[in-house]
Amino acid sequence: MAYTIKFRPAVEKSLKKLPKKELIRIKRKIDALAENLPDPATTKIKGNNNFHKIRSGDYRIIYEIHDDTLVILVAKIGHRKDIYKHIF
């Protein structure tokens, strides 16, 4: 079962600022995420939240899974050194 990918408006802005090489890699990773969702138990971010994460080189993709509507909402994309500082 394939999920639909949706982006928060801030994510669309941040994608425009990424280097072209990283943008291509991240888009491939997001497309693969829609087709084959990894085990939510291994991608869950610690704490009392609904966020999950996947790696794409030095960048991280933070997302939420909405199983009832088959939607993956990409909440944030950023470099690993500062992505976790401003999630919550």
Q: What is the pLDDT of residues 57-68, one digit of tens each?
A: 999 999 999 989
pLDDT at 84: 83
Q: Give all strands of the β-sheet with 59-66 in edge-to-edge order.
A: 4-7, 71-79, 59-66, 51-56
Cβ partners under 8 Å of residue 31, min gap 6: 5
pTM: 0.89
DSSP bridge partners of 51: 64
What's the first-to-final CA gap in the chain, in angstroms? 30
Q: Select the CATH number that applies to the domain covering 4-82 from these four: 3.40.50.2300, 3.30.2310.20, 3.20.20.70, 3.40.50.150.
A: 3.30.2310.20
Listed by start position, the domains of the chain span 4-82
Instruction: Give the C-alpha separation, 14 to 24, whole Å.
Output: 14
